[in-house]
């Protein structure tokens, strides 16, 4: 049957299963093992990640319910969704906290609520939009506003605020804007402090190439990005 | 502009209180019955700027706590028929009033007054929340400076979240000579970023300092440019279409402003 349970730092419990195990066997084994590990869970920080075997949507729902009702665990993730937990992290991933090497901490998918967001108005100072996929803003992003995306960002207006594309670590992303004039741009964790004038009129695209952020005018291209 | 207007900015010191005092006096001058409410509890200023500080017996906190009747807290300005003030408390703080209490107060005042102007404190916390509760429109005051404009942008977003979408911008302390030299944010850029209609531009005028100290709103001064600007804004609040003052500029800015005000 081969169900192994590994405790990781930060109250995370990884449940490793064989693809061949039956669903009912797994449920039994989980109950069994979790009862032994009860002391491990400390309220809201407890997190369970299932790996190695796919579950259907209804099975996932059932497991989540079971874990919540029996053990008070609300935070449950499955296989491909959950990134591999690092062996030792004392600090929780604080998104967008910069360091001296010009990088910010990346976040995991669990951080986001939405898959993609389409904003049909200007973002004002103090407003923050985040999602695991792409973000389109039909308007400006004003200074003091923040757009954080796991995917790419397109601003059909003037980008004056903060944009972070590839916030989970993807590098195949871009930040595009009609007027690219942010105070700071971030792609895949890398920070670029914007020069006073980038030069050139017209829409621009910022991309991540070989460890740095490069900016080019947006011209129609026959091949894909 | 509706009849209950909050004057706010986010940034401190850009001229909210001066604006409330002058627009209040301006509306009274036009024959309207106006009440001004100072919601900057703990740091009250509206009473000083109007020259009414020595007549305060009861204040806003006394009214909401039921210590006095509303009528007892209203200070009638002896210079302008129809101008009244509800002063803030100085020895309490902004937690002494709640948004619900403000709404109730404004409902009561609306029955008696043509216009209610609310002087909002700087910031976005409890003071702001109290000031916007019950307001139907907003005048966002800013100066042509990047930090003030960013704060104004934030405030406009927060006003929208509170359901106040009728917001107009007042650009205060404008110095055309500095704009021409590139030392001050151009009006065009300001309006571009903030994206709301302009209710008026008040030029920098050193006579304001004296008028504040003397407790005499500059709107009464026929010779002061700032006074004229406030009189024009007063008329725009009442729905009149008043062209922008010529702020001594030949840079084409005037035509830009006139185009932007065309909607009025």
Residues of A in contact with B151 (CB under 8 A): 125
Helix, strand, coil shares, percent, chain B, to 5? 45, 15, 40
Q: What are phi and psi of B83, to 5 degrees?
A: -110, 125
What residues contact residue A68 under an 8 Å CB cut-off, 6+ apart?
A: A74, A76
| Cβ pairs A/B, distance under 8 A | 29
Residues of A in contact with B157 (CB under 8 A): 124-127
Q: Are A86 and A108 in contact (CB under 8 A)?
A: no
Q: Are A121 and A142 in contact (CB under 8 A)?
A: no
**Interface residue A35 vs chain B (CB under 8 A):** no
What residues contact residue A158 under an 8 Å CB cut-off, 6+ apart?
A: A140, A141, A177, A178, A179, A181
- pLDDT-flagged residues of chain A (< 70): 1-2, 9-11, 37-45, 79-101, 195-199, 220-225
Nearest to A142 among B158, B160, B193 (CB): B193
Contacts with B, A 107-126, CB within 8 Å: 122, 124-126
Among candidate residues A177, A202, A203, A207, the one with its CA nearest the CA of residue A192: A207
Alpha carbon separation from B90 to B14, B39, B62, B96 (Å, rounded): 21, 10, 11, 11
Q: Are B25 and B80 in contact (CB under 8 A)?
A: yes
Nearest to A127 among B151, B157, B195 (CB): B157
The 3-state DSSP class for residue B221 equals coil
Question: Could you tell me the residue ranges of all domains in chain B?
Answer: 4-260
**Interface residue B195 vs chain A (CB under 8 A):** yes
How much is the pLDDT for A197? 60
Q: Are B229 and B245 in contact (CB under 8 A)?
A: yes
Among candidate residues A123, A125, A197, A109, the one with its CA nearest the CA of residue A153: A123
ipTM over 0.95: no
Q: What are phi and psi of B236, to 5 degrees?
A: -65, -35
Number of continuous H segments (helices) and E segments (strands) in chain A: 2, 15
Tens-of-pLDDT digits for all 264 residues of chain B? Answer: 999 999 999 999 999 999 999 999 999 999 999 999 999 999 999 999 999 998 999 999 999 999 999 999 999 999 999 999 999 999 888 889 999 999 999 999 999 999 999 999 999 999 999 999 999 999 999 999 989 999 999 999 999 999 999 999 999 999 988 888 888 888 888 998 999 999 999 999 999 999 999 999 999 998 999 999 999 999 999 999 999 887 654 444 555 555 565 444
CA atoms within 13 A on the CB side of A82: 21
* B41-74 per-position pLDDT tens digit: 999 999 999 999 989 999 999 999 999 999 999 9
Query: Cα distance from B157 to chain A (closest Cα, Å)?
Result: 6
Joined tokens for residue A125:
């100072």
Q: Which helix (H) or strand (E) holds A207?
A: strand A204-209
Instruction: Tell the CATH topology of B4-260.
Output: Rossmann fold (3.40.50)
Nearest to A125 among B154, B160, B195 (CB): B154
Nearest to B150 among A122, A125, A140 (CB): A125
Residues of A in contact with B146 (CB under 8 A): 143
**Interface residue B247 vs chain A (CB under 8 A):** no
DSSP annotation string for B55-117: G-SS-HHHHHHTSS-HHHHPEEPSSSTTEEEEPPPSSS-GGGS-HHHHHHHHHHHHTT-SEEE
Residues of A in contact with B185 (CB under 8 A): none
Joined tokens for residue B153:
């942008």
Among candidate residues B29, B41, B28, B30, the one with its CA nearest the CA of residue B116: B28
Nearest to B154 among A140, A144, A160 (CB): A144
Q: Chain A residue with minimal CA distance to B157? A: A124
Hunting for tokens 């209610």 — which residue is that? Answer: B116
Q: Are A115 and A36 in contact (CB under 8 A)?
A: no
Residues of A in contact with B158 (CB under 8 A): 126
Nearest to A142 among B153, B158, B160 (CB): B153
Query: Cα distance from B192 to chain A (closest Cα, Å)?
Result: 10
Among candidate residues B107, B133, B108, B104, the one with its CA nearest the CA of residue B118: B133
**Dist. CA A140–CA B229, nearest whole Å:** 31
Q: What interhelical angle do B16-29 and B225-237 show, nearest 10?
A: 70
Among candidate residues A23, A86, A28, the one with its CA nearest the CA of residue A53: A23
Q: Are A208 and A188 in contact (CB under 8 A)?
A: yes
Residues of B in contact with A143 (CB under 8 A): 146, 150, 153, 193
**CATH code for residues A109-217:** 2.160.20.70
Task: Measure CA A56 to chain center.
Answer: 23
* A71-96 per-position pLDDT tens digit: 777 788 886 554 444 443 343 344 44
Where does B133-224 have alpha helices with state H? 146-161, 176-181, 187-194, 207-214
Contact B150 A142 (CB under 8 A): yes
Query: Cα distance from A72 to chain B (closest Cα, Å)?
Result: 35
- DSSP annotation of B187 reads H
Q: Are A47 and A89 in contact (CB under 8 A)?
A: no
| CATH 2.160.20.70 domain position(s) in chain A | 109-217
Antiparallel, parallel or unpaired: β A190-193 and B34-38: unpaired
């Amino acid at each position: 049957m081969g169900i192994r349970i590994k405790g990781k730092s930060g109250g995370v419990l990884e449940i490793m299963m064989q693809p061949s195990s039956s669903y009912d066997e797994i449920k039994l084994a989980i109950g069994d093992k979790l009862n032994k590990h009860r002391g491990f869970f400390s309220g809201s920080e407890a997190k369970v990640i299932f790996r190695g075997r796919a579950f259907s949507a209804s099975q996932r729902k059932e497991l989540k319910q079971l874990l919540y009702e029996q053990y008070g665990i609300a935070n449950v993730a499955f296989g491909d969704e959950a990134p591999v937990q690092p062996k030792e992290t004392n600090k929780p991933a604080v998104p967008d906290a910069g360091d001296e090497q010009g990088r910010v901490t990346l976040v995991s998918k669990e951080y986001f609520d939405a898959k993609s967001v389409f904003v049909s108005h200007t973002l004002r100072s103090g407003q923050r939009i985040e999602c695991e996929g792409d973000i389109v803003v039909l308007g400006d992003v004003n200074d003091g506003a923040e757009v954080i995306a796991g995917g790419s960002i397109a601003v059909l207006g003037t980008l004056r605020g903060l944009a972070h594309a590839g916030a989970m670590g993807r590098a195949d992303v871009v930040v595009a804007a009609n007027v690219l004039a942010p105070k700071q741009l971030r792609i895949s964790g890398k920070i670029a402090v914007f020069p006073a004038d980038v030069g050139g009129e017209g829409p621009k695209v910022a991309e991540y190439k070989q460890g740095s952020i490069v900016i080019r005018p947006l011209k129609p291209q026959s091949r894909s990005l | 502009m509706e009849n209950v207007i909050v004057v706010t900015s986010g940034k401190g010191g850009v001229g909210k209180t001066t604006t409330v005092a002058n627009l209040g006096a301006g509306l009274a001058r036009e024959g309207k019955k106006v009440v001004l409410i100072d919601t900057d509890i703990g740091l009250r200023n509206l009473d000083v700027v109007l020259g009414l500080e020595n007549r305060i017996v009861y204040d806003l906190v006394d009214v909401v706590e039921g210590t006095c009747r509303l009528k007892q807290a209203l200070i009638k300005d002896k210079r302008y028929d129809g101008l009244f003030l509800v002063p803030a408390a100085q020895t309490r703080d902004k937690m002494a009033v709640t948004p619900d209490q403000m709404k109730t107060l404004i409902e009561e005042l609306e029955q008696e007054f043509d216009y209610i102007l609310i002087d909002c404190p700087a910031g976005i916390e409890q003071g702001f929340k109290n000031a916007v509760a019950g307001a139907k429109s907003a005048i966002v005051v800013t100066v042509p400076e990047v930090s003030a404009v960013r704060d104004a942008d934030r405030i406009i977003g927060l006003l929208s979240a509170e359901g106040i979408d009728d917001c107009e911008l007042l650009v205060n302390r404008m110095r055309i000579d500095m704009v021409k030299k590139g030392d001050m944010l151009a009006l065009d850029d300001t309006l571009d970023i903030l994206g709301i209609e302009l209710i008026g531009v008040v030029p920098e005028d050193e006579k304001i300092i004296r008028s504040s100290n003397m407790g005499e709103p500059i709107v009464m001064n026929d010779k002061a440019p700032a006074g004229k600007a406030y009189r024009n804004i007063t008329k725009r609040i009442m729905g009149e279409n008043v062209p922008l003052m010529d702020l001594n500029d030949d840079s084409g800015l005037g035509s830009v402003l006139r185009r932007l005000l065309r909607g009025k």
